[in-house]
Structure 1
Amino acid sequence: MVECFFCFANFVTTANGEFLLNGMRFRFLGTNCYYLHYSSDEVIDDLLISASQMNLEVLRIWGFLDGESYCRSKKTYMHPSIGVFGIPETVSGVKNGFERLDYIIQKAKTVDIKLIIVLVNNWDDFGGMNQYVNWFNEKHHDDFYTNEKIKQEYKKYIEYLLNRINVYTNIAYKDEPTIMAWELANEPRCETDKSGRTLLNWVREMSEFIKSIDQNHLVGVGDEGFFNSHSNFYPYKNFASWTYSGFSGVDWERLLSIESIDFATFHLYPTHWQVPNNEIEPWGLKWIEDHIKMAKSFSKPVILEEFGVPKTVENRSQIYELWLKKFYELGGDGAMFWMLAAKGEGRDKDLNGYFPDYDGFRVLNDDSLEAKIFRKIAQVIGRNAN
């Protein structure tokens, strides 16, 4: 057996409930961007340079594009059909999404940004779990977690990705220190099993499978952090009580007990979860506190990996600042706002040349108050802090 050349240098690891990078504690502010894996070099460069200028140290991206129709709509092929990874011989004039990932990785390396790569979507955007369900003629979204043929196809995709050799760096993904972590899914839910057991078993099986191939990288769930009813935490003023009740089939506490899950993730979207606008700030502060307490009880690092308040909320920038202040004061390890955008192209471009603000959460590297707050916090928290 050949020893890994890198010997864990520049890989993010964990110890005593914290992230470590080259022997030092690694805390960060980062962001998300879902459109890079079907974008041009110019767009990828612009986004990563913008992130670097904002002192953002981690970028969470999609590592999937499932289904012929979704691949065709983006003119980028990754996983168009069962067992097919890349561009089929019958298709021409499109991009290879894996080559796009190769390029993202090598560009991120040049600007010293770590990547968290997500492996499938809970939602139908870019194919997701329902595409797997449809491939195998099953009937319900949650069959993704239990059907053996579906699970084997997902594992084949993972194995292909982890063993891929980057055409720009000549390094296998499983040996690439620019990749910080793999995440099993974006916001997985299993509402047909409120106990959380189905999702728990799937997470254990898939995280152990990744570890059997790749011992270099961290593995996370990528979930929203929903509690189950046996938890000792309760929602602020009972708003969005379903996020604490097990309604979504997620049991955050038990997910953290899985040995092959290295860190905790949670998301924060009060307006999407029916919290009134005038209660967004305190509800979010309680949500942050509850998650950090539980993650630390398992001695695992914790990432607030998606959060957002629509621009229609008047005090959005103040809310962001207070949330992040509380998160880091309580010992949080990394926070990642949704989402940084930069240059757009084709139909995905507004009148000013930027990727459009489709969901109302977009942040640009500009003179906005939000951008100024993020740059300031990133400078204080990150590796280059004084």
Structure 2
Amino acid sequence: MALSRRDLILAAAPALGAAARPTRPPKGFVTVLNGRLALDGKPYRFAGANLWYGAWLGAPAAYGDPDRLRRELDRLKALGVTNLRVLGAGERSPAKAAVSPTFQEKPGEYDPTLLKGLDVLLAEMAARDMKAVIYINNFWDWSGGMPAYLNWVGNGPWFQQGDPDHPWPEYPDYAARFYGDAKANTLFRRYLLSIVGRMNTVTGKAYRADPTIMAWQLANEPRPGGSPASADMAAFQHWIRETSTIIKTLDRRHLVCTGSEGLKGCLESEACVLDAHRPETIDYVTAHVWPNNWGWIDPKNQRATYDAGEARCREYVARHIAIARQLGKPLVIEEFGLIREARAFAPGSATADKDRFYRTIYGLALDDMKAGGPTAGTNFWAWNGEGRAQHPDAWFAAGDKSFVGDPPQEEQGLYGVFDTDASTLAVIKAHAAAVSAL
């Protein structure tokens, strides 16, 4: 059944009623003030991390580990990390390397245990004065995402990312069909209404009233397609405007962002990035920086190609700072990463290049913060903590519970930061202290 305008209005009634009363921004909620992120009238700047699996740890289930969740949050807090980007959705994916279990095993059937895990995560974050960015869809199939919705409604044939029989850009062209598929979006919006309208079973607080949530994010790395020739820019931009408007109608207190990589997520089109972040319902600009994945730094020859690749990363960040300035909106560099030397996965393997890359991104962000620019924070990808690969080949398998920041589509440990990566932890801690001192 399609969601009508009446459905949205009824679901949004509490938020609309509160929004109708002219009040100051509620205490504790992150807002936008004069083109910058703000918290209780003061600039809000942060050092953050990605912890996509936080809800899985919080779940009261065999795969959950609430005690580990508390230890990981304590470790992050001790480093000065105060902002976490987490996954608040997941759909059963036919992909071989995919998250299991998921929030939505079948269309419209939501896992109460995993939702309880998200409740636990938010409650534990609140106890540590941390903020969450929750993304509620995924362009990539490791958590189901857009391809799972397409598969459910019969828009196919489905195939997984990396299938050699479907070389790039067939996968992004397929996933991007989602934006224009009314049936797939009906299923997605049903879940969206459920999660934004949820009541936390641990705190008894409605998500809409919880300042622990900084922002709702439309999706992880949404792209309009795989090439300029095949991309449907109009459908992509319409989906961003429509989905962000629905969220803002349901929840006037929280920020909304796209989850876009920026220029790479827009096929190098600056006009696309501007259009995606221009709507009033999108509160800030996002950017991701992946020099290995984009061919800027060769993982097989990292040391020799690093300098040229870093120069391109610097230019990339500078261009997004300029875009944010042009739009008059804040900027968050919410994903960045580099592999370990020799493409190693294990804790204790060399991280000199990775540490240098972190210092570069942190330095660019801090310089812009000091200059009064739009950059508000960074979220490195990703926190492994005490998680470890469970198999000799380092790939995730169904039933594994030692979650790490590297999702199932990658070897466990490829990009993530372990709790024993002393030199990388020192870089993160030093940056967090510098941001806190501003």
Matches within 5 A, 1:217-256: 217-226=254-263, 244-245=268-269, 251-256=272-277
Matches within 5 A, 1:274-285: 274-276=295-297, 277-278=305-306, 279-285=308-314
Show structure 1 runs of 5+ residues with no match. Answer: 88-95, 229-241
Show structure 2 runs of 5+ residues with no match. Answer: 1-13, 58-64, 157-173, 298-304, 342-350, 395-401, 407-411
One-letter code aligned to 1:328: L
Equivalent-residue separation in structure 1 for 2:24 and 2:114 (angstroms): 26
Does residue 193 of structure 2 align to residue 153 of structure 1?
A: no
Shift in CA distance, 272/346, structure 1 to aligned 2, threshold 3 Å: closer
CA displacement, residues 229-285 of structure 1 (integer Å, 9 cap, x when unaligned): xxxxxxxxxxxxx95258xxx921111211100000010001110113332211111
Moved more, 319-328 or 304-313: 319-328
The aligned residue for residue 234 of structure 1 is: none
When the two structures are aligned, how many residues end up with a matched partner?
Answer: 357
Shift in CA distance, 310/45, structure 1 to aligned 2, threshold 3 Å: same
The aligned residue for residue 183 of structure 1 is: 217
1:42, distance to aligned residue in structure 2 (A): 1.6
CA displacement, residues 49-89 of structure 1 (integer Å, 9 cap, x when unaligned): 1110110110001111212768xx866452111222225xx
The aligned residue for residue 247 of structure 2 is: 210
The aligned residue for residue 32 of structure 2 is: 14
One-letter code aligned to 1:152: T
1:43, distance to aligned residue in structure 2 (A): 2.2
Matches within 5 A, 1:280-319: 280-312=309-341, 314-319=352-357
The aligned residue for residue 170 of structure 2 is: none
CA displacement, residues 203-232 of structure 1 (integer Å, 9 cap, x when unaligned): 00000000010001000000100269xxxx
Name the TM-score, length of structure 2 as normaliser.
Answer: 0.75
**Residue of structure 2 aligned with 1:97, choices 114, 118, 129:** 114
Instruction: Using the aligned pairs only, state the percent identity.
Output: 26
The aligned residue for residue 239 of structure 1 is: none
The aligned residue for residue 51 of structure 2 is: 33
Secondary structure of 1:161's partner? helix
1:129, distance to aligned residue in structure 2 (A): 0.7
Shift in CA distance, 308/356, structure 1 to aligned 2, threshold 3 Å: closer
The aligned residue for residue 194 of structure 1 is: 231
One-letter code aligned to 2:338: V
Equivalent-residue separation in structure 1 for 2:50 and 2:269 (angstroms): 28
* Contact 1:33–1:60, Cα closer than 8 Å, also in 2: yes
One-letter code aligned to 1:301: P
Shift in CA distance, 359/80, structure 1 to aligned 2, threshold 3 Å: same
Name the TM-score, length of structure 1 as normaliser.
Answer: 0.85
Moved more, 191-200 or 180-189: 191-200
Alpha-carbon RMSD across the aligned residues, in angstroms, is 2.8
Secondary structure of 1:323's partner? helix
**Residue of structure 2 aligned with 1:335, choices 366, 378, 391:** 378
The aligned residue for residue 52 of structure 1 is: 77
The aligned residue for residue 362 of structure 2 is: 324
Equivalent-residue separation in structure 1 for 2:359 and 2:405 (angstroms): 24
One-letter code aligned to 2:355: S
Equivalent-residue separation in structure 1 for 2:405 and 2:211 (angstroms): 32
1:345, distance to aligned residue in structure 2 (A): 7.8
One-letter code aligned to 2:377: G
1:190, distance to aligned residue in structure 2 (A): 2.2
Shift in CA distance, 6/80, structure 1 to aligned 2, threshold 3 Å: farther
1:174, distance to aligned residue in structure 2 (A): 1.2
Secondary structure of 2:90's partner? coil
The aligned residue for residue 68 of structure 2 is: 43
* Contact 1:207–1:260, Cα closer than 8 Å, also in 2: yes
**Residue of structure 1 aligned with 2:142, choices 125, 133, 136:** 125
1:316, distance to aligned residue in structure 2 (A): 2.5
